[in-house]
Structure 1
């Protein structure tokens, strides 16, 4: 079969441009209405996208004064969207630092059942220190501790999802046996950070377990992705950097004993689309002119730890403030590295850098005609930089509609993207196998459980 492109719609309330809520193309008054998100999901599904995705975090990271910063809880929201759609995958972000594995495993298992096998979990450790105070913690754990816990957390979740074997439910009405107790297993997990007995309180869900997604590009994040991730969301500005990341992730998957084809790399792409290149750039300028510098400066500090508030907006960005973050081998500050590389390549003024980041917070912004957008997608896909893209419209809902109405048909005519779904689950869409239970092929042992 010809290799097929994967497309995911990254839903950000009013759009991925920080000033989207101010533009007349958007509908910020609807961002707490479930109908709004159901409409967006149906648009993506009609275009045969693999999935929709919600980012999330347990803290208000941006000032609500200058942006539509609030969020609805994504797993509950996706459950409502599942009822309004039939095929499209449903991916929610949830933190391994600020959840407990048994409860979170139940939420995602239920979403997988409710949707008929369309659930995906974007695994994060939560980068913002603001979250700690919301959970009564004195401080936010450092990255190494967060990733230690994350590894244990995912191991526990998978063991819980697997604790009922696929044929554990026998449904023997005449004999009075609903399930075979020898096929329902405690997990008895004892780790450095977690203690979980199990077993789970539901059978394996339609996909075996939800698709595991990951979005960290630091060295710890890459190691984690190589071991666990089935899809990876990442940010790159150039083809060369994207190719290097793609190769590195596939190699790490191989070293972990996994099939690299079962790890899908999806860089972010935020397209401004119009009939002519001039009109596309004019649209982008309209959005940039609505930005509020005070907000952009705070965002830059949050993303890169760099404070430019004392500099004139039309003065060059001082490169030395980023230290060695632009070094190709420095992956421990991944988003800082992306921004430092922009400064190295473009030597922008402070205002220009704020505009560059306003579009998608360091993800690639591309401005042009539908053909030009399709060309750049095809280039990255065919040149070993991506298995597909996390599409991040600068404005919702019309930015997604512009992409699905004009770019998707071009990709379909080129034979790069599906014209119909060929399966029902998110794993089907991504070309991923249903994972075997960890108990598959084992000799059954009697297990006594207390009801």
Structure 2
């Protein structure tokens, strides 16, 4: 079967750059309206995108130009979106610094159940002082502690998600209980940073483990991605750099005991696409003129400008060369998503690198990413007394 692109869409409120909210096609008074987000979700699903992705920051930015960028809780928003979509994956950012594994595992398992197996988890280790102070700390913990906690946090979640065996719900009316008590286990996880007894209060979900995503480019972040991630975000703009980054992650995954095809690298892409290159550059200039010059180096990713053919060629060529496994699409304004779906997606489909229809099954099954990490059971005990 021919290798297929992974297309991941960043559900946005203000666009890129942040000052794009000033464009006449944007209406930020709607950012707390479910319909505003559903319009994006339905467009992305029409373009056969694999997933929606919500970035999050558990604090208000000190710069007021980004005041609406992280406005709604990702899990709650995606749970609402799940009821109005059918195929597209739903990836919520949820940090390991200020949550507990039990709370995170239960929320994500609930999203997986309610979406029929489409949940994903973007794992972040929060480093900002603002986030720390919103959670009772004077400052963020150092990198070593944050990543040590993240590994334990994920391990604890993995055990919680496996604490119910797949057939634990019997619903046998001849018995006094709706479950088989021998198939629900305590986990008794006791690490240096997190502790949880378990079991999870939520039965095993369709995927068991929601799709795990991660973005840290540092050595510690790469180690975490190699050990656990299914999707890895990146900011690589140069194909040789992308190939090197992807190979490094694959090598780390293999070292961690995983298969060489256990993860997908999906770098960021913000396209300015119009029918001619001159129109695309004018569109970019129109949006960049909305932002002060000193803001462009802070909040403007590597942007690509061109015709649908030029952008489709770039994506397809870099994909074929092994520079990435797909893209994480951000858009400058919401009309740009429609432009991409209407003009670039058909070209990618014609080149045979992007699907015309969704495959059946859960998000993991659609992406060919079954969960393969071993979950140690030697510490597990039966939760209910015999």
TM-score, length-scaled by structure 2: 0.95
CA contact 1:208–1:437 (8 Å) conserved in 2 = no
**Cα distance change of structure 1 residues 53 and 109 upon mapping to structure 2, 3 Å threshold:** same
1:364-403 Cα shifts (integer Å, max 9, x gaps):
310000001001101110111111000111112x111111
Structure 2: stretches of 5+ with no match in the other structure: none
**Cα distance change of structure 1 residues 193 and 434 upon mapping to structure 2, 3 Å threshold:** closer
Match of 1:390, SS? strand
**Cα distance change of structure 1 residues 122 and 40 upon mapping to structure 2, 3 Å threshold:** same
**Cα distance change of structure 1 residues 68 and 184 upon mapping to structure 2, 3 Å threshold:** closer
CA contact 2:265–2:326 (8 Å) conserved in 1 = yes
- State yes or no: 1:405 paired with 2:346: no
CA contact 2:181–2:384 (8 Å) conserved in 1 = yes
- State yes or no: 1:212 paired with 2:153: no
- State yes or no: 1:162 paired with 2:162: yes
- State yes or no: 1:427 paired with 2:351: no
Deviation at 1:241, TM superposition (A): 1.2
List aligned pairs for 1:368-407, cutoff 5 A.
Answer: 368-396=306-334, 398-407=335-344
Counterpart for residue 103 of structure 2: 103
Greater CA drift, 128-137 or 400-409: 128-137
Structure 1: stretches of 5+ with no match in the other structure: 297-353
Question: How far apart, CA to CA, are the structure 2 residues paired with 1:437 and 1:57?
Answer: 31
Counterpart for residue 127 of structure 1: 127
CA contact 1:62–1:69 (8 Å) conserved in 2 = no
TM-score, length-scaled by structure 1: 0.82
CA contact 2:258–2:373 (8 Å) conserved in 1 = no
1:250-297 Cα shifts (integer Å, max 9, x gaps):
111111110121201100000000000000000101111110246x1x
- State yes or no: 1:415 paired with 2:356: no
Deviation at 1:70, TM superposition (A): 4.3
Larger Rg: 1
Match of 1:19, SS? helix
**Cα distance change of structure 1 residues 168 and 435 upon mapping to structure 2, 3 Å threshold:** farther
- State yes or no: 1:228 paired with 2:163: no
List aligned pairs for 1:47-86, cutoff 5 A.
Answer: 47-65=47-65, 68-86=68-86
CA contact 1:64–1:70 (8 Å) conserved in 2 = no
Deviation at 1:17, TM superposition (A): 1.8
Question: How far apart, CA to CA, are the structure 1 residues paired with 2:362 and 2:29?
Answer: 33
- State yes or no: 1:359 paired with 2:297: no
